[in-house]
Structure 1
Amino acid sequence: MRKLVVLASIAAVGLLSAATPAVESALRTIVDRTEVTAEEAVTRELAGVKGPIGHDHGAHDHGPVEDPARAGTADMVATDASDGVTLVAHFPFDGIDDLFSGGTDLAFDGRYVYAAQFGDAGGVHIFNATGPRPQKVGFFDCPGTQNDVAVLGDGLIVLGFHEGGQEGSDCEEQGGGVRIIDVSDAANPVERGNVLDIPGGTHTIKVHPELPIIYASPGGFPTNGGGPLSDGGVQQIIDASDPDAPFVRGQFQPNPNGCHDVYVSITEERDRDLIACVGLGESQLWDITDDPFAPRTIARIHNPLIFFDHSAAISDDGDLLVIGDENFGAHECEGGPTGAMFAYDISIPELPVLQGYFGIDRHPGDDPHVSSSTIERETWCTAHQYDFIPGTRTMVASWYTGGMNVIDWSDPTSPQELAHYRLDGPAFENSNYWSAYWHDGYVYANDRGRGMDILHVEGLPGADDPKRAPRPRGGSES
């Protein structure tokens, strides 16, 4: 099955015409098992983020609720969790009517957690996570497609989007690009400045760890921030030193597709500042030591097992790069390489060396699994968003319906899963995690159909603190 799934992935990038009749037959057999062809999935992936913006700007407040597997739907939803993993709080989001209107990325700044939501009810939910009872303390109402979030610093966050803004919301000016939001008064967030004329808008954003610089990525597809919808996969590098008047100070075109995402690595152990760029066809390493507004490509990574170079993370020592494959053509999530993570030794950045890979053996239901390639992603279980726990080679990761897991990359040739959590059940009741990260002793996971979960995982940094005991954490809103 795994070989056929890889072949189906090849079909999705238009190589059917080059296949032998026998191989083509095998490719089409697998692709036909999905609800749409893999080629159509590519087109719908690009177009699906585009849609009407608008909603009723009513109340968005909800307190934490019980684990749905223990709250009256136990006959439909099963909790699949390793020992020592406990769901301690769940915050549902209003306005989720499909899988492109729920949770997206997460960002953290001390006691505050910023959980983004996209679609007509989109924006940023602001949580105060200190004390025994987490509280939702604010919401920045900003409908938009994608709605990626990052911390800029000094009470500021950044929101990136392809299209966003609506009259009557907190972000009335429409366009595509980035907004800088002042969250110093968490209950009353306000927009400070923006760049709304980026061709094709922004798919993902990363902020330089030490400087007020925003790296806005187009999406890593020829028509998602590139080609006819944009300006050929150009990375926009934004000077945000004046949050009221950010501007594009640098541009960089790594290839015709551009980056789906980047990861900025600034370490004391290495005398070079690096960026990992991932997108369709390849990953790259850039050197930004001399000028963070003028990257220089120093390495290219082409891995034939990767269908779509989607995400990247670099360990704090700067020596280990992990690339995630969002193989939406077809993947099986039975421990094979489709939709997996791949580790590279980058101790010599110009010469990345493949070390190993990790693929989950976890997917919806009990039967042998080949994912649907539909844009809704209701059965996807590829690697998605992840990062290392600071100072370690332990990673927390999201896998769509594969849930959340914790991976030890101490030996990148043989990574080990330490813990996992997921809900298995009908769509909008099962796990469909867009992102999952460690922060201050807990794991936070943002779900495309349900909202935000907070998990206690024994053995992780801070988890053994008595304040972090996995007790019920009912909260309140203000």
Structure 2
Amino acid sequence: MTSLRTTHARRRRRLAVATAAAGLLATLLTAGPAAATPDPGDVPAAPESVSAQTEAEVRAAIRSGEIPGVDQVVHSANITHLANVPHDAFTGINSDLAFQGKYAFSGNYDGFRVFDISNPKAPVTVAQVLCPGAQNDVSVSGDLLFLSTDSSRSDSSCSSTSQPATEKSSWEGMKIFDISDVRNPRYVAAVETACGSHTHTLVPERRNVYVYVSSYAPSAAFPDCQPPHDGISIIKVPRKAPEKAAVVTFPVLFPGEGPDGGGNPGGPTNPGVSKTTGCHDITVLPSKDLAAGACMGDGILMNIEDPENPKVIDRVQDNVNFAFWHSATFNQKANKVVFTDELGGGVGATCNERTGPNRGADGIYDVVGKGDQRKLVFRSYFKIDRHQADTENCVAHNGSLIPVKGRDIMVQAWYQGGLSVWDFTDSAKPREIAYFERGPLTTDKLTTGGSWSAYYYNGHIYSNDERKGFDVLRLDDRRTDAAKRVRMHELNVQTQPDYFDDYDDDYDDDYDDEDDD
């Protein structure tokens, strides 16, 4: 049982325990073709059974209180669980989140769902769009909503079905909706992109929205998407004529000779490291003309002053502890970047003593220098120390800054590790200050689930749990209370705002740093 025991786990038993809020009933408004139905072709693989010894260890850890019981909700004393909106018959595996005004847009493998969050204690579903296609990561800008499709589909419609990638008619890429009437989203355009759209990032301008499409060559099963695939598709979308959206350029970020291009070669040269065949995710900071890319085997820093021609200004690798560079987050001053390592692809149990504190973790990098001479300098790792069961997928995943002037604090999803609020103001000594999680989904199978995205928006934390639905949390902590006064009209986390640019209020920078625990 030592793999499940930590001091933090024992301390957790003394912290607040809450039960999940009752499901909220909502009226569903379906957009798109009436024939659209949830598509099992994009659902993750079935759970894998574990050994009898592992199952016995998990059950024993639950009985002893070292980990929560199945589906039991536990959290630190400074977190309040306000609401949960469970899955319904039309909702696939939950993925990413975006926000605009009083609405939250929740992507899922069968489309997306729109919540009115004007009352965070009682979110109400105001629209449900069936449009199957993994992962359906979602972003919004003005009257437009963007949806990523990274699975082989029979066509670009919302009635498409999954099919083998070897079919010549296969389609994958970016879908665009008009949300001027948010209760009735209207599908207006589709743009096919090389290797589909695993994730995407918006670079908004007044007349146009640029979309950086991240995708990569996954395996030999995808014959039309093989290395070298060392760039990103950039789509230009006219706001007043989104039907004219089109790929305008495909910048190669890892130029090099040979069949694999110029990215990290991965194993066997670097055992355990993913070969770079594209980017998984890109975060832009438009106010600073910067972007950070998490690109499988590489982390990069880019100048995006010319949005159609991003320029790589630094590149780093970690061939000791990082397996798959997954996502990136700038701090507000743009002098730090947090990169995440999705060890195991998000389906493995890696939050345990066996895996250790530096793998499947965050890597914190300082940004030093000026202009195009800026460099990424490694400072430390951060990983939750709440060990999880071997039936729980757990690894660093999507998170966002919590806007506190003078501090670097973020909330982050860890799949079945729940979510963590942590402070990296001292980039060499990060520390957790709050958490929320559920117990394992099962004790006899390694089952994927948990928080995919956990983001802070206008005073609350919103989490998209793959299987348990949409959660709303309140964080009450003197270290983050000032963030409650910051109000955004729109938030796409991969398009990081300058939280304080237009914020007009007396901001209290005083901070009492004693007794943080």
TM-score (norm 1): 0.71
Match in the other structure for 2:128:
139
Paired residue type of 1:414:
K
Tell me the SS of whatever aligns to 1:331: coil
Q: Would the aligned equivalents of 2:214 and 2:281 in 1 still touch at CA under 8 Å?
A: yes
Which residue of structure 2 aligns with residue 193 of structure 1?
A: 189
Alignment of 1:422-441 (within 5 A): 422-427=437-442, 432-441=450-459
Residue pairs, 1:329-368, within 5 angstroms: 331-334=350-353, 336-348=357-369, 350-365=374-389
> Which of these residues, 392, 412, 415, is aligned with residue 397 of structure 1?
412
Please give the per-residue CA displacement for 1:182-216, whole angstroms capped at 9, x wherever unaligned.
Answer: 122122111121203x2321100110154511000
Instruction: Write the letter of the residue equivalent to 1:382.
Output: V
The correspondence for 1:315, drawn from 331, 334, 355, is 331
Gaps of 5+ in 2: 3-34, 40-67, 162-169, 255-260, 262-276, 486-517
1:448 aligned to which of 454, 457, 466? 466
Residue 166 of structure 1 deviates from its aligned partner by 7.5
For residues 233 and 146 of structure 1, do their structure 2 counterparts lie closer, same or farther at Cα, with a shift above 3 Å needed? farther
| Partner residue, 1:6 | none
- 3-state SS of the aligned residue for 1:413? coil
Tell me how far 1:332 sits from its aligned partner. 3.7
User: Structure 1 residue 362: deviation in Å?
Assistant: 2.1
Counterpart of 2:149 (choices 145, 153, 161) is: 161
The corresponding residue for 2:47 is none
Tell me the TM-score normalised to structure 2 length.
0.66
- Matched residues in 2 for 1:389 and 1:199: separation? 34
Identity %: 30
Q: Deviations over 1:362-382 (max 9, x none)?
A: 2434xxxxx5xxxxxx62211
Task: Give, in whole Å, the separation in 1 of the partners of 2:314 and 2:428.
Answer: 21
Which of the numbers 62, 72, 79 marks the counterpart of 1:85? 79
The aligned runs of 1:244-393 (5 Å cut-off) are: 244-255=243-254, 256=261, 257-267=277-287, 270=288, 273-289=289-305, 291-303=306-318, 304-328=320-344, 331-334=350-353, 336-348=357-369, 350-365=374-389, 379-390=392-403, 392=405, 393=408
SS of 1:200's partner is coil
RMSD of Structure 2 on Structure 1 (CA): 3.2
- Counterpart AA for 1:126: V
Distance 1:391 1:363 in 2: 29
Q: Which amino acid aligns with 1:297?
A: V
Q: Could you tell me how far 1:409 is from its partner in structure 2?
A: 1.3
CA contact (8 A) 1:221 1:280 kept: no
User: Counterpart of 1:33?
Assistant: none
The 8 Å contact of residues 114 and 127 in structure 1, kept in 2 or not, is answered as: yes
Which residue does the alignment assign to 1:184? 180
Does the 8 Å CA contact 2:404/2:483 hold for their aligned counterparts? no
* 1:417 pairs with 2:432: yes
Distance across 2 between alignment mates of 1:75 and 1:418: 23
The question of 1:217 aligning with 2:214 is answered yes
CA drift at 1:138: 0.5
- The CA distance in 2 between the partners of 1:225 and 1:407, in whole Å, is 39
Q: What amino acid maps onto 1:299 in structure 2? A: D
**Cα distance, 1:54 vs structure 2:** 6.9
Q: State the Cα deviation string for residues 379-408 of structure 1 (Å, max 9, x = none).
A: 221101112124552101001111101111
* Structure 1 position 168, deviation (Å): 12
Unaligned segments of structure 1, at least 5 residues: 3-52, 58-73, 366-370, 372-377, 466-478
SS in 2 for 1:244: helix
For 1:167 and 1:266, the matched residues in 2 are separated by 34
Q: How far apart are residue 219 of structure 1 and its match?
A: 3.6
Kindly tell me: are residues 254 and 172 of structure 1, through their superposed partners in 2, closer, same or farther at Cα, counting changes over 3 Å? same
1:315 shift after superposition: 1.5
- Alpha-carbon contact 2:453-2:464 (below 8 Å) kept: yes
Contact 2:69 2:440 in 1 (8 A): no
Q: How many residues align?
A: 375
1:318 is paired with a residue whose SS is coil
- Per the alignment, residue 148 of structure 1 pairs with 137
- Structure 1 residue 313 displacement after superposition: 0.8
Q: Check conservation: 1:103, 1:446, Cα contact below 8 A.
A: yes
Distance 1:148 1:170 in 2: 15
